[in-house]
Amino acid sequence: MTDEDLRKQAHDLDVTVWVGKSGIDAVTDELADQLADRELVKVKFLRAARGGTTTDELAEELAERVDSDLVETRGNTAVLH
């Protein structure tokens, strides 16, 4: 499946993981569980989580931690595969 196909699928997905002031450490296990159950997971990065970093940087780090691919980031939301 291409990234474009994955983006189209992700368009209608609801956000199921929120990253807040506790940072990405707090959601790593939950995200890994969700990725085991389904192909795509949408993650929202709240302002408190971003601090001095960008959504792209946080999303890349989170994807690396759960051994997944970052499909896209749009605004403060990322889609992982």
In angstroms, what CA-CA distances link 10 with 2, 15, 48, 49, 73? 12, 10, 24, 22, 11
**Residue 61 has what pLDDT?**
96
CA distance 45 to 79: 11
pLDDT at 25: 94
Q: Which SS3 state, helix, strand or coil, does residue 44 take?
A: strand
Query: What is the chain's alpha carbon radius of gyration, rounded to the nearest angstrom?
Result: 12
Kindly give the residue spans of alpha helices, DSSP state H, lying in 1-81.
Answer: 3-11, 28-37, 47-50, 55-65
pLDDT by residue for the chain (81 residues), tens only, comes to: 788 898 888 888 999 999 999 999 999 999 999 999 999 999 999 999 988 899 999 999 999 999 999 999 999 999 999
